[in-house]
Chains A and B, each alone.
Chain A
Amino acid sequence: MTALTDLTLTAARDGLARRAFSAAELTEAHLAAIEALNPRINAFITVTAERARAQAAAADAALARGEGGPLAGLPIAIKDLFCTEGVRTTAGSRILGPFVPPYESTVTAQLRRDGAVFLGKANLDEFAMGSSNMTSAYGPVANPWRRRQDADAVLVPGGSSGGSAAAVAGRLALGATGTDTGGSIRQPASFCGVAGIKPTYGRCSRWGIVAFASSLDQAGPFARTVQDCALLLRSMAGFDPKDSTSAELAVPDFVAACGRGVRGLRIGVPREYRSDGMAGEIERLWQQGLDWLREAGAEIVDVSLPHTKYGLATYYIVAPAEASSNLARYDGVRFGLREDGADLTELYERTRGAGFGAEVRRRVLIGTYVLSAGYYDAYYLRAQKVRALILRDFTEAFREVDALLTPTTPTAAFAQGEKMDDPITMYLNDVFTVPANMAGVPGLSVPAGLDAQGLPLGLQVIGRPFDEETVFAVGSVLERAAGFDALPAVRAGVPG
């Protein structure tokens, strides 16, 4: 029998329904895995074992009554950017170290409503700013995967939702929530060999999620299969009157969409993504993905997204601008860290100086600069104009095609310490993922192959706004064709 920690979310759900095992057993198996491996992986900042046990017991009781929501008894990890009532929520920052929210985010409240069991709060880059999980004030996360050669090198899980991706890859959780502002779900999913989707902006409520860049932030799930992502997203998504930017649309049956197939679909290949410097194995995987889709009945079409090359530059103006304003509330006055000073200005300086790490400070400074009088037009306003052009590129492409296929990242996971000297090198990791955030369209990363070092690589499916169904359909076909069954070196049940 498969170990409980190796089950997919869907299989675990079916097992619970058959009473093959209890939610309590399922949760205990994961808590044991966390206890064994979290010291090595550091995927969790906070483990809520007792709460998890209580939720599992409640799920067992509900299941015994023949009730229980669609996620009843399924243990998952929550990115520590989602406010959870009564459970410390740090956003990976010292400045929120002592913060225990008196409210529950809409997304996590819906997961709870549907019966999910929360194992704890997953590690992340500080305020979701990073692509390596190295900026967390609670220590870096180790990617469960290891290179074939140089197996001692500890690799990053990607970021910012590095803890979530690592927890799912390392079998510490059946699924996890993440947020994606420029690739923070898809890039770590790709690095850790799991599936992850950033839905359309507005699909999930942002209420109760610590804001990084409000016009880009979007919650989404991680899981080990595309269908599991669909199952989680079904619970996470939906209109929320408390978020003015959430879309007043019914939530489709994403799980059903996974089985639609791609026959007759037109899949676009954005030619601008084919950069000269693209690694050969990435290029080959991409081509492989296109072949799989063609074999499954899709038509492959070349499309152009001419403004895509400005995506990253634009992102690094818009996101820091919004962040500089969003993070102004961390001032030591009402909650979180306070470092007293002789006057108000000193209180601010000491609190924020002690509370924010280097990357957050860098982005606050960039954001403050691009919004300043005299620079606003040249940076922020121009970036917004380019953003409109990027959106128009996608809108026009989606007149021709039903979805786009691209690599998720330009490389596989790198080692802790690599790419750390120059922030730009790190930022380049998001080159394929950022445009979807700029345009607000959904993007899914599916594990599709391994690089020469045996590290996972993902392919990205990008869809029309609010057409996650097609994205899931395409992703499922890729997943089946790829038959990705490689396992990370560090995972539950494997002696360390």
Chain B
Amino acid sequence: MSYSLQGASGPWEVVIGLEVHAQVISRAKLFSGAATAFGAAPNTQVSFVDAAFPGMLPVINRECVAQAVRTGLGLNAHINLVSRFDRKNYFYADLPAGYQISQYQHPIVGAGTIEIELPDGSTKDIGVTRLHLEQDAGKSLHDQHPTKSYIDLNRAGVALMEIVSEPDLRSPEEAGAYLRKLRTILRYLGTCDGNMEEGSMRADVNVSVRKHDEAFRTRCEVKNVNSIRFVMQAIEAEARRQIDVWEGGGTVEQETRLFDAARGLTRSMRSKEDAHDYRYFPDPDLLPLVLDEDWVASLRAGLPELPDAKRARFMQAYGLPAYDSGVLVAEQATADYYETVARGRDPKLAANWVMGDLFAALNRTGRGIEDSPVSAAVLGQLLDRMADATINGRIAKEVFEAMVESGRDADAIIAERGLRQVTDTGAIDAAVAQVLAANADKVADYKGGKDKLFGFFVGQVMKAMAGKGNPALVNEALRRHLA
């Protein structure tokens, strides 16, 4: 059942398009040699080009172009071998030149697609309209002085990729899935760290509503939403506002709005009438950007395996279900971790342990897979000890918890705690005999036909052996004794 919002007049479909600004991972800015590291002291990463001093000229950073092309290739998009930079003119204190260098008419990357996975396991292709390169502005700090604004130009001139989707999204969940998938792809490619809190990925959300099968109605743009959760909330809030306007007999006006996360509302920022006239024109300081086909091909050849391909491979090579594969490939580090654990071992067991006990432990300890207290090699060792019957599954859980706490490996913990499972049939027979003797009534019931009591006997024997009995041998001994 597709998503809709219920209004007084019936259900409304929500139409969403996203414009994502992704900060390019590069050592230097788009048109200057200044550094780009996050968190440096204000105005320490600013060249005379970034500060737009008289006579300064932009020179394109080749690596930023390569990153945009890699991203385009990762989005299965058309790479435009000739693109152009335009000036977007407006005045603001943190925009030193009075214009932003962007790509308005001729972006470096054309149409592509992103496949999103929906909770019901289905997938949907979302169109990417274009990707273009542009400069970021600086930052205005209005809260540092009672009457003055402070300007930090560290960010001014940093390369951004603006990635524009088609209005193909139909629910907050789809928008969330799109952003997560885009972030995954960017991280796999190493072209953007996707960190929305630090602002290295920001989203503008275009929302409209319509009745089923109608043409699109007027959209509003909700600017600069800085988390996936807020994007989803903003969509619903804005869609509900628009439904109220339409159903109240009004007309939704095209405008730019801001999301107030505290109140869960969107507020008008500027109307169409107040919209800037950006006076775009080709930047005469820059020649058209012409890419060599061979260079693009070499970038393509250097791309890592991307999430969709990896997911397909996990399903095929490891026999994992689609859902498990999707979870494991969501982060490159998780996929790498999984593959290390699975190599030469039971891939399904490996997936269960990574997605089950490991994820739980990471959640509990608040750590990421990159700094997991249990390394992939060590988890693999634990699986090996189960495979070679040194320990059984239950003991393995205990060992794993000890590994999380101590950071030590499985063998050390098994040895130290004497958790090696008992395979000595003499000891097992003795334990079985003891349990059966102590439960003569139940033995009688079992022999009278209550088969289910077999499990009870297994449990009792394991308990008597402090959990260390080899389950297969215990079963076999019990069967023998009860026969």
Contacts and interface: CB of A to CB of B under 8 A. Distances in A.
A371 to B, nearest CB: 4
Contacts of A99: 54
Contacts of B54: 83, 89, 91, 96, 99, 101, 210-211, 329, 335
A212 B283 CA distance: 13
A143 to B, nearest CB: 28
A335 B53 contact: yes
A243 interface: yes
A207 interface: yes
Nearest to B97: A329
Interface string B41-69: 00000001001111111111000000000
Contacts of B149: 344
B91 interface: yes
A241 B31 CA distance: 12
Contacts of A329: 52-54, 96-98
A243 B91 CA distance: 25
B26 to A, nearest CB: 18
Interface in A54-108: 82-83, 89, 91, 96, 99, 101-103, 105
Contacts of B58: 244
Nearest to B60: A244
Given A244-B58, A244-B287, 17 more contacts: A82-B55, A103-B48, A206-B57, A207-B55, A213-B284, A214-B285, A244-B57, A245-B284, A322-B281, A322-B284, A325-B89, A325-B99, A325-B279, A325-B281, A329-B52, A334-B53, A334-B96
Interface string B273-293: 000010111001111000000
| A interface, over-half SS | loop
Main secondary structure of the interface of B (DSSP, over half): loop
Nearest to A205: B57
A82 B96 CA distance: 20
A321 B151 CA distance: 28
8 contacts: A105-B55, A213-B284, A244-B60, A325-B99, A325-B279, A329-B53, A373-B277, A373-B279
A383 to B, nearest CB: 11
Interface in A230-274: 241-245
Interface string A198-223: 00000000111111011100000000
A83 B151 CA distance: 25
Contacts of A102: 48
Contacts of B55: 82-83, 101, 103, 105, 206-211
A316 interface: no
Interface residues of A, number: 43
A214 B287 CA distance: 12
A215 B97 CA distance: 17
Given A244-B57, A334-B52, A372-B279, A214 B97 contact: no
B87 interface: yes
Contact of A325 (B53, B57, B93, B98): B98
Contact-residue bracket for chain B:
20 to 34
Interface of A: 82-83, 89, 91, 96, 99, 101-103, 105, 206-211, 213-215, 241-245, 321-322, 324-325, 327-329, 331, 333-335, 344, 348, 368, 371-373, 376, 380
B297 to A, nearest CB: 25
Interface string B91-111: 111001111000000000000
Most chain A CB neighbours (cut-off 10 Å) among B57, B59, B91, B149: B57
Interface in B347-394: none
Contact of B91 (A206, A207, A210, A331): A331
Given A101-B53, A335-B53, A245 B98 contact: no
Of listed A206, A213, A334, A380, residue having the most chain B CB within 10 A: A334
Contacts of A380: 281
A243 B57 CA distance: 6
B284 A215 contact: yes
Contacts of A82: 55
